[in-house]
Amino acid sequence: MDPGTLKTALKDEKAQLHTLEAVIASMMVVGIIIFTVQATSLTPLTASTANSHIEAQLQTIGQDMMNALSYSPYGHSSDLKNDILNWDGDSYVWSGAEYRATGNQSHSLENSSLAESLDMIAVRRGIAHNVHFTWVNEDGIVLSRRYIYNGDPSNNAVVISKMIHLCEAEIGNATEFRERTGIPSADPDTPSTDFYNIVNVKMTLWRM
């Protein structure tokens, strides 16, 4: 065999070897992918892990919102406290554009920092949400009323709450405030203490 033919044969053999190596490598990659997909197929454990991840995200979002809204600079009430003080006692539902009163669809929720935060953070991310105000009356009975309501939560819902202390001086006209919100003075016999009541703001978040 002449040198030229030998050289060509060697090149062809090398090319075949490279092709064979490429085929083997491709088969190995495909095999690894198939094995990985089978090993991580959708099982109850995988779904549970995904739900836990979603719940952790919602918990973080809700906690950050509550912490920001409950912050009060020196000498000023927090935004969350102002929302309670300004509450008209009605329940509101997201209409697709704003929060509207359940009893009067022409009445929208205004001057609410909590509603504005939920609009910017929850609504735009497709996160359903409810907010309830809970307190204890003079007889020690726990009462709760809806502030924002958007339906029954799903199984992966999380609940974040924040206690807000109300003072007599902040309430102003206690009679008018109670008639409007239903929140009474927890100890009406000792108004000199300046303690009015504690409202637990409970926010529930879940994915649609």
Phi-psi group of 185: left, alpha or beta (phi > 0 → left; psi -120 to 50 → alpha; rest → beta): beta
Which three-class secondary structure state does DSSP give residue 93? strand
Which three-class secondary structure state does DSSP give residue 201? strand
Is the Cβ–Cβ distance between 152 and 180 less than 8 Å? no
- Per-residue model confidence as pLDDT tens digits over 23-44: 565 566 445 444 433 443 344 4
Amino acid 10: pLDDT: 47
End-to-end Cα separation, the chain, in angstroms: 76
- Per-residue model confidence as pLDDT tens digits over 194-204: 889 999 999 99
Amino acid 190: pLDDT: 64
What are the two backbone dihedrals, phi and then psi, of residue 38, each rounded to the nearest 5 degrees?
A: -65, -40
- Per-residue model confidence as pLDDT tens digits over 146-170: 999 999 998 889 999 999 999 988 9
> Between β-strands 92-94 and 195-207, what pairing exists: parallel, antiparallel or unpaired?
unpaired
β-pair partners for 101: 92
- Per-residue model confidence as pLDDT tens digits over 107-146: 899 989 999 999 999 999 999 999 999 999 988 899 999 9
| Average pLDDT rounded to a whole number, residues 169-198 | 85
H-type helices in the chain, by residue range?
3-39, 44-69, 79-85, 113-117, 168-171, 174-181
197 against 75, higher pLDDT: 197
- Per-residue model confidence as pLDDT tens digits over 48-73: 566 788 889 999 999 999 999 999 88
> Between β-strands 158-167 and 142-148, what pairing exists: parallel, antiparallel or unpaired?
unpaired
Amino acid 38: pLDDT: 46
Place of tokens 């490429």: 22
- Whole-angstrom distance, CA of residue 152 vs CA of residue 34: 40
Which three-class secondary structure state does DSSP give residue 158? strand
Which three-class secondary structure state does DSSP give residue 206? strand
